[in-house]
Amino acid sequence: MDKTATASENTTATAVAQPKKIDLGKAAIKEAIAKGKTVIKEGKSKADAAMVIFEALKDEEKDVVIAAFVQGATLTEKGAVTYWYNCRRKAKKAAKSA
């Protein structure tokens, strides 16, 4: 077994696994995060906050929406991914029935 090949493979895997930087500075994203925080302050659920954020950012990339969930709906990174899938499924279901 070649130790040099293993070391270079690990370096490549680490480089690929680096999270990309997400710009949450856009006005629409800031506004969605603020709406999510408002929903939480009103005593509503994280799911309600996530749905508000999702609706505002439905045209953005998945990673952007997830980052907004973490900031605006006080979710963890893993929880935000789950909420993204749930919100996407709920929005598709609502679109079909409309």
- C-alpha 69/C-alpha 40 separation (Å) is 12
Those residues with Cβ within 8 angstroms of residue 5's Cβ, 6 or more apart along the chain or in another chain = none
Considering the chain, what is the average pLDDT of its residues?
86
Angstrom distance (rounded) from CA 35 to CA 30? 9
The tens digit of pLDDT for each residue in 51-98 reads 999 999 999 999 999 999 999 999 999 999 999 999 999 999 999 987
Q: Which two tokens stand for residue 51?
A: 């749905």
**How far is Cα 92 from Cα 98, in angstroms, rounded to an integer?**
10
The per-residue pLDDT for range 14-52, each reduced to its tens digit, is: 444 555 678 888 999 999 999 999 999 999 999 999 999
DSSP state of 42: T
Give the pLDDT band (50/70/90) at residue 6: low
- The residue count of the chain comes to 98
